[in-house]
Amino acid sequence: MTADIQLPKVAQSKINRLAQAAGRSPAAMLRLVLRDGFEAVELSIKENTLADKQFGSGETVAHGDVMRDAQAQF
Residue 21 buriedness (CB in 10 A; 0-12 / 13-18 / 19+): middle
Give the separation between CA 54 and CA 71, rounded to whole angstroms. Answer: 24
**Residues found in the chain:** 74
In eight-state DSSP terms, residue 23 is T
* pLDDT score recorded for residue 36: 97
Q: What residue ranges do the domains of the chain occupy?
A: 9-72
Instruction: Examine the pLDDT at 74 and tell me if it is beyond 90.
Output: no
The candidate with the shortest Cα–Cα distance to 18, out of 9, 34, 29, 31, is 29
* pLDDT score recorded for residue 1: 78
Over residues 23-68, the pLDDT tens digits come to: 999 999 999 999 999 999 999 999 999 999 998 998 888 899 999 9
pTM of the model: 0.71
